[in-house]
Amino acid sequence: MTDYNTSRSRLILPEYGRNIQKMVDYAVGLESREERNRAAQAIIAVMGCINPHLRDVSDFKHKLWDHLAIMSDFKLDIDFPYDLPERETFQTKPHPVSYPGNQIKCRHYGKIIEEMIKEAVKMEEGELKSHLKLLIANYIKRSYLTWNRDSVDDESILADMLALSGGKLSLDPSVHLYENIPEAKEMRPMGKARSNQNKNKKRKNFRGPGSRNYSA
């Protein structure tokens, strides 16, 4: 039968390979402590050859002896030159990672928009707040066009801002967005007329095989 890795014993440290693991298992089974010490020294030398660029590291030897103890499942009874790590440190489960439990009302706008709206609601009425509301509305429209290339009217954007602020932030419906952000014009999706115009231009400039360019 074919000897697959799935049918073999599990490697404790796969980066050292199965041959190193077999050498460690052999050293564990030796009866004489002196023989086990000699075998351990030979195994450490082979393990050091796998990563020769790390030999100049100060604690490199210490790590190799720790890995030897781990690969033997702490069953190798030899004279270790360093203090062995405790088995419990490798058996404890990591602490669960806490994820934010905040629910975003409009995921396509993101959490930053909600934080900006909260800060704008706290501000006193004035020119600065009006300017911030206009910037928020422009940013909402920019985020909308990032995920949806279809055109959207300003009334829908202002309605979304009003809903996200709990009815506390509103702008004059006559305000036209994108007028105060020149670079945002590049994000406008092309209308059907402009798209068709580009298609017609490509067709006009296309020259099929065997075509000639006649000039008057």
Mean predicted confidence (pLDDT) in 74-82? 90
pLDDT at site 202:
53
Question: How does the average pLDDT of the chain come out, rounded?
Answer: 78
- List CB contacts of 177: < 8 A, sequence separation 6 or more: 134, 137, 138, 141, 154, 157
Mean predicted confidence (pLDDT) in 128-133? 89
- Structure confidence by residue, pLDDT tens digits, 144-201: 887 776 677 888 888 888 888 888 888 887 777 764 444 444 444 444 444 455 555 5
- List CB contacts of 75: < 8 A, sequence separation 6 or more: 28
Per the listing, tokens 């030159």 go with 81
- pLDDT tier at 214, thresholds 50, 70, 90: very low
Mean predicted confidence (pLDDT) in 84-106? 77
d(CA 28, CA 39): 9
Look up residue 169 and give its two tokens: 């932030």
pLDDT at site 26:
94
17: left (phi over 0), alpha (psi -120 to 50) or beta: left
pLDDT at site 191:
44
d(CA 82, CA 108): 56
Per the listing, tokens 């949806």 go with 148
- Structure confidence by residue, pLDDT tens digits, 38-61: 999 999 999 988 877 777 677 888
Could you tell me which residue, 145 or 66, shows the higher pLDDT?
A: 66
Mean predicted confidence (pLDDT) in 63-67? 90
pLDDT at site 201:
54
Cα atoms in the Cβ-side hemisphere of radius 13 Å centred on 77: 5
Q: Is 31 exposed, middle or buried (0-12, 13-18, 19+ CB in 10 A)?
A: exposed
pLDDT at 17 exceeding the cut of 70: yes
pLDDT at 134 exceeding the cut of 80: yes
- pLDDT tier at 105, thresholds 50, 70, 90: confident
Mean predicted confidence (pLDDT) in 96-103? 76
Residue 27 CB coordination number (10 Å): 24
Secondary structure percentages of the chain, helix, strand, coil, to 5: 55, 0, 45
pLDDT at site 58:
73
